[in-house]
Each structure stands twice: as structure tokens, then as C-alpha cells.
A and B are shown apart, each in its own frame.
Chain A
Amino acid sequence: MANDREVLREIWDGKLPICFQLAQEEIMEIQQPDPFYVMVPRLSYFPLVTDKMKRHFLRFISQENSDSEMWLDYNGQPLKWHYPIGFLYDLYCGNDSQLPWNLTVHFTKFPEDILLHCPNKDVVEAHYMSTVKEADVLKHRGQVMSTMQKKDHNQLWLGLQNDKFDQFWAINRRLMESHGDNEGFKHIPVKMYSDDGICHQRLVIPKNSDGTRKTLQQMILELYPDKPDLNLRTHGIVIPPETPLQWLSEHLSYPDNFLHLCLC
């Protein structure tokens, strides 16, 4: 069970200051638009926090592009909206922190070979729910999600969308319980990313063959035997290698119930 409430709260409250600027080639007015500054939750997704920013820039772009799909880049790298914001920051700026995070806003030339289309927030919700479901398949063979009611699923999503910690955790705690007689999940939902953002998903069991709790260090040795000095970063923190995986999964997973870890 996720018992360390202070840790959960601290992770939930993580925020990033962002400075959005409209791409130069999109500006159709003589007057330059002001940059748009906003503080966003690390655990959220860009389409959930960019409505106001979008409205701010719309009057500076060509009218014919006002209905086209907005997208963001950092340093020329298109940002995948289907990952949590804090993860994207750790991936691209983890080693070289810059605040506020300067991002460029585009309304044309949507890079369809890199980014998923996101016509509305329902798409974000569908993506989020299917990721939670996948995590539950790994942890409990999908039994928790399938016994929940539709209103519980809604509460999870609304808790995240509206930044309501208590509302979210009232449901999420059930997804963090261990079932059966042994303490721990069947598998740990974890995605590890190299610095090009490529993720190779592997099945990870939270226990060693002798029944002891598996630590992060032991998982690294198992998956990357030739790189024992590897560090992993999440939520802006380099995780101590002796941290047990089960605890990590219960407390440091993103709201989609996956650990998103950057190799560094």
C-alpha cells in the first residue's frame, strides 16, 4: 500500500514554470506577442493546461491556421503530449536544468510522423485510461480496473484533470494495493527511457528469486548488466539505488500508474 502520504503529496505538488513563445514564422502581426508564462503541475499533460495560452497566441497567427492543431517543441524537439509534463522535462532538461522551461508554440506543419493527433481532451482521457488499465494488467492481471465502476474511472480522471489530490487518491489507492498472500505486484509497471526518448519496456518482478524485495540497483543489474553505474531520474530526483521497487511503484508512479524513469 502507498502509505507514505507526505511523499505522495510532495510528488503531486511538483510544478514547473513554463515560458511559451510563438514560433517566429507564425507571427502575422507587426506587434510581437508577449511570451506566456504559466506554472503547471508536473503530473499533468500539456493539452490539459494550454487552453489559455492558445487563446493568447491565436490573434497573432494567420486566420486560416486558427483551427489547426497546436503543437509544442523544445529546442526543435517536438513534445509528445501523451507523456506527463514532468517526465518530458526530466528527459530533455534533467541533466541541465533551465527554469522557466522555454517552449515554442506552433500552429502549422504538425509533425504527424512523430506526434499523435490530439483533437480534444477526450483523446487525452482515453489515452490516460488505457494506460492505467495496462498498468493494472501488469500489477493485478487487470482485476482492479475491471471491478471498478465507471464513476470510479471518472473520479480518477477528474482528480487528475482538476488537480484534486484527495479525489484522485481515494480511487488510486485501490490500484496500489497488493493482492493475494504475498506482498507486492505481479509486475512493476515501469518504462525506462534513454536520452533519445526511446523506451524499451521489460517485465520486472518486484521480488528476487530468494523472496527478498528487489531494489532499483538489482533491477539495473538485471536489465543492463554491462552498465552497473547507471542512474535513473524521475520527478526531478535521481533515485537512490537501494530503493525497493515495490515502494517506488506505489509512491513515485505517475497518475497513469507507470514509473517513467530516465536513464542518466
Chain B
Amino acid sequence: MNTTLSYEQFLKAAKEFAIISSKLCDGWKLIGEDSSQAYLIKETFIDTENKYDMLKAQYVIFYNISYGVPSFSFNLWNSSGMLLKLSELRDMSCLRINEKDFYSVITQQEHPLLHKPYFIMHPCHTDSLLAAFKDKSNNIIVTFLGLITPLIKLDLPVEYGL
């Protein structure tokens, strides 16, 4: 059974997603539409409840060519412009992953499109999770983010689903 997503399917969903996002002023932008490596990016600031006060966050959704799935990556910077480390992320309230699973879910990797260190959520289960929703989904990226948001504090307006 082939449950993976082609790049063209990803791009189509990403374009639709970017249109909905701009209507909602949610800040996601589609970059590199005409290349074979388009990705969605959003930059925002988040308030934390502890010592890190204000953080700058950058989220990137891209197409993982090996796994044939959308992938989620991000970086967080503190107010002095330092990248947060994995151990620092783990202590933060904006990530809701239990300690046992943490290092198998998120690792720091060289971003395949941006070629810099990013935290990337491991794609190995995305395929089977998305397969369950694929036929019912209006937009696979909305569905994908729906799977991610329980783990990361990412406000996804309900209007995306309409």
C-alpha cells in the first residue's frame, strides 16, 4: 500500500494553506513555489511562563523527499539572539512531549532545504498517521498540523478546517 504524498500533492496543499493563512492573517508564507523545494514558513514571538521570557520562533513545513511526507521543523531564539538548545527546549512549557519520548521525537539536524541546524520532528510515523486521515482530509497540511499541535504550542485557528 502506498500511502505517501507526492511533491506535487504537497505543493498543491501548501498553496491552498498559504491562501487560507493570509485570509486569517496567520502569517504562514509559501517560499520557492517555482523551485522543486517549496516550503511554508512562519515567524512569530511567543511568551513563555518561565525564565526565557520572550522567544522568537520560526516554524518551517517542508516536503521530506525520502519519506514522502510533510515535515515540521523549527528554531527558537531567546531575547539575546541565542539559539535554544534541545535540553532547554525540553524544560519549556510550550513543548508537551514526555521525557521518555522527547529525544526520539525531536532532534537537531541540518535542515535539508535551509542547510542550517533546525529542530526537526522525526518523520518515521507521519506516514502511517496521515494515511488514516488522507481520504477524509480537505487539506493534508491542516491535518498534519493537527497532529503536531498537541505537542507544540502552535495556535492553529479552527477556520483552517472549514
Interface residues, chain A, CB within 8 Å of chain B?
Answer: 80, 82, 112-117, 126-127, 130, 133-134, 137-138, 142, 189, 197-203
Contacts and interface: CB of A to CB of B under 8 A. Distances in A.
Interface of B: 37, 65-67, 82-83, 85-86, 103, 107-110, 112, 115-117, 122, 124
Contact of A113 (B66, B83, B85, B108): B83
A117 B85 contact: yes
Contacts of A199: 112, 115
16 contacts: A112-B82, A112-B83, A113-B83, A114-B116, A115-B117, A117-B108, A126-B107, A130-B107, A134-B66, A137-B124, A138-B66, A198-B115, A199-B112, A199-B115, A201-B65, A203-B65
A117 B110 CA distance: 11
Contacts, number: 45
Nearest to A134: B66
Contacts of B110: 80, 82, 116
Given A116-B110, A127-B107, A137 B116 contact: no
Contacts of A198: 115
Contacts of A114: 116-117
**Among the interface residues B37, B67, B108, which one has the most CB atoms of the partner chain A within 10 A?**
B108
Contacts of A126: 103, 107
Contact of B67 (A112, A134, A200): A134
Shortest 5 CB-CB contacts between residues of A and residues of B: A134-B66, A116-B117, A112-B83, A116-B108, A138-B66
A203 B65 CA distance: 7
B32 to A, nearest CB: 12
Contact of A201 (B66, B82, B116, B124): B66
A253 to B, nearest CB: 14
A80 B86 CA distance: 18
Contact of B109 (A112, A127, A202): A127
Contacts of B83: 112-113
Given A113-B116, A117-B85, A198-B115, A142 B108 contact: no
A113 B117 contact: yes
Nearest to B68: A137
A127 B110 CA distance: 11
A195 to B, nearest CB: 14
A165 to B, nearest CB: 27
